């Protein structure tokens, strides 16, 4: 197990370095004045430019710049936005809201997706299964931002069941609708994946043997079919965190959720280059670390992994 963790850590390091290097290189090392490019057509005041040159050490050689950028990233020294506010402080304030949103969305896709997938898989070919299969295709086909607008309009405005925009009042309750929008597409994927996995495992030899041992049906389903079907689902949820982050930007934008995604969305609208790079780098960091955690979870779920190779 320790071997496995070490090996995974060794694999994560080059990925993290490579990805941040890529991000950093694209923004700061391509030809042209990066500071001017960051601002696009607008002309910031010289004091801001000077602060940015200082922040990103643009006078140093590239590798030093990159090293300092990494150091800043790990110490959450992310610089200031155009209004002079430290980005790190802003992020610290809005991060809990996004975390709440993400957790709610994860629960929707993880718990309900797995439950519905298990239910459909055990009743393969029956009415519930066929309905869910078609419905999930439709859900997958509707882009998150379309779904967001439609639900905002129908559930929020016309039916008045939820607040159409969250605003400053972010709580588990008010975030439910945005979280539903954010989680729905992945919910459909998780459902389909669980269903396929359950159907495969139902026909596995070890499930037949478990039944032959005299185990009750619920026990066979929970301890053998469901337990083994979790393995691909965990992998998917980890890889899907990236899509969740992208979705958070859109969802928070639509529902005016005061989270990290909304800050990013506003930064895009205002063409605030430094803020965008800082937030994306933090996201990449979270994504890489989260995937490492999922890998460890995966090793716990599937003992064979720990010994392979």
Partner 1 sequence: MTSNYQADHYVAPIDETPLLATDSVRTDQAPLSLWAEAWRKLRRRPLFIVSALLIVLLVVIALFPGLFTQVAPNDNCDLQFSDGAPTAGHPFGYTFQGCDVFSRVIHGTQASLSVGVLSVIFVLVIGVTLGALAGFFGGWLDAVIARLGDIFFALPLVLGALVITQLPFFKDNKSVWTVVMVIVLLAWPQMARITRGAVMEVRNADFVTAARSLGVSRMGSLLRHVLPNALAPIIVLATMELGVFIVAEATLSFLGIGLPGSVMSWGNDIAAAQPSLRTNPAVLLYPATALSITVLSFIMLGDALRDALDPKSRQR
Partner 2 sequence: MKVPHMTTSKISVSEAGASDVKPLLEIRDLAISFATSGGEVQAVRNAHLTIMPGETVAIVGESGSGKSTTALAAIGLLPANGRVSGGQILLDGEDIAGAPEKRMIELRGNTIGMVPQDPMSNLNPVWKIGYQVRETLRANGRPDGPDDVARVLAEAGLPDAHRRAKQYPHEFSGGMRQRALIAIGLSCQPRLLIADEPTSALDVTVQRQILDHLDKMTTELGTSVLLITHDLGLAAERADKVVVMYRGNVVEAGPSLDLLRNPRHPYTQRLVASAPSLASRRIQVAKELGVESEDLLAPSEASPGAAFTGTTAQHRAQQGKDKPEEVLRVENLSKVFKLRSGIGRSADFTAVDSVSFGVKRGTTTAIVGESGSGKSTVAQMVLNLLPPTSGRIVFDGVDTATLNSREIFAFRRRVQPIFQDPYGSLDPMYNIFRTIEEPLRTHKVGNRASREKKVRELLDQVALPQSTMQRYPNELSGGQRQRVAVARALALDPEVIICDEAVSALDVLVQAQVLNLLADLQANLGLTYLFITHDLAVVRQIADHVCVMEKGRLVETGATDDVFDAPQQEYTKALLNAIPGASLMLPPEVATA
Q: Which does 301 bind (CB under 5 to 8 A by kind): partner 1, partner 2, none?
A: partner 2
Neighbours of 246 (CB within 10 A): 13
Contact status: 145 vs partner 1 (CB under 8 A) = yes
Say whether residue 27 binds partner 1 (CB under 8 A): yes
Q: Contacting partner 1 (CB under 8 A), which of 44, 79, 86, 242?
A: 242
Alpha-helical (H) ranges within the chain are 2-24, 34-39, 46-56, 62-74, 87-107, 113-122, 127-141, 144-151, 176-202, 205-212, 217-219, 227-255, 260-269, 273-301, 303-307
Distances (CA, A) of 281 to 12, 54, 65, 78, 220: 15, 19, 15, 10, 45
By CB neighbour count within 10 A (0-12 exposed, 13-18 middle, 19+ buried), where does 241 fall? buried
Q: Out of 83, 138, 216, 217, which residue is the one contacting partner 1 (CB under 8 A)?
A: 138
To partner 2, the closest distance from the beta carbon of 235 in angstroms equals: 14
Instruction: Report 254-293 residues binding partner 1 (CB under 8 A).
Output: 264-265, 268-269, 273, 276-277, 280, 283-284, 287-288, 291
Rounded least distance, CB 7 to partner 2, Å: 6
Provide the minimum distance between the beta carbon of 105 and partner 2 in the complex, in angstroms, as a whole number. Answer: 27
Helix (H, G, I), strand (E, B) or coil at 86: strand
How many residues appear in the chain?
309
Binding stretches for partner 1 (CB under 8 A) = 11, 14-16, 18-19, 22-23, 26-27, 30, 32, 37-38, 40, 137-138, 140-146, 149-150, 152-153, 157, 239, 241-243, 245-247, 249-250, 253, 264-265, 268-269, 273, 276-277, 280, 283-284, 287-288, 291
């Amino acid at each position: 197990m320790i071997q496995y963790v070490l090996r995974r850590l060794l694999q994560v390091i080059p990925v993290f370095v490579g990805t941040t290097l890529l991000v950093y290189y694209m923004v700061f090392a391509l030809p042209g004045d990066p500071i001017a490019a960051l601002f696009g057509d607008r002309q910031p005041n010289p004091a801001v430019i000077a602060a940015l040159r200082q922040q990103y050490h643009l006078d140093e050689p590239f590798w030093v710049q990159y090293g300092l950028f990494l150091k800043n990233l790990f110490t959450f020294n992310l610089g200031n936005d155009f209004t002079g506010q430290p980005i790190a402080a802003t992020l610290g304030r809005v991060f809990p809201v996004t975390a709440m949103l993400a957790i709610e969305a994860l629960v929707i896709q993880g718990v309900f997706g797995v439950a519905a997938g298990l239910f459909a898989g055990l009743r393969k070919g029956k009415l519930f299964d066929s309905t869910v299969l078609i419905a999930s295709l439709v859900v997958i086909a509707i882009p998150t931002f379309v779904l967001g607008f439609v639900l905002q309009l129908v559930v929020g405005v016309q039916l008045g069941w939820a607040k159409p925009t969250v605003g400053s009042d972010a709580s588990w309750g008010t975030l439910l609708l945005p979280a539903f929008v954010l989680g729905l597409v992945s919910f459909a994927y998780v459902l389909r994946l669980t269903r396929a996995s359950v159907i495969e495992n139902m026909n596995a030899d070890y499930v037949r043997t478990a039944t032959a041992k005299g185990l009750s049906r619920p026990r066979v389903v929970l301890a053998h079919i469901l337990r083994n079907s979790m393995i691909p689902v965990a992998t998917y949820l980890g890889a899907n965190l990236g899509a969740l982050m992208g979705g958070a930007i859109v969802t928070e934008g639509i529902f005016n959720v005061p989270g990290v995604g909304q800050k990013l969305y506003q930064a895009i609208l205002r063409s605030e280059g430094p803020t965008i790079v800082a937030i994306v780098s933090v996201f990449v960091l979270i994504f890489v670390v989260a995937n490492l955690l999922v890998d460890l979870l995966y090793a716990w779920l599937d003992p064979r992994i720990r010994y392979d190779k």
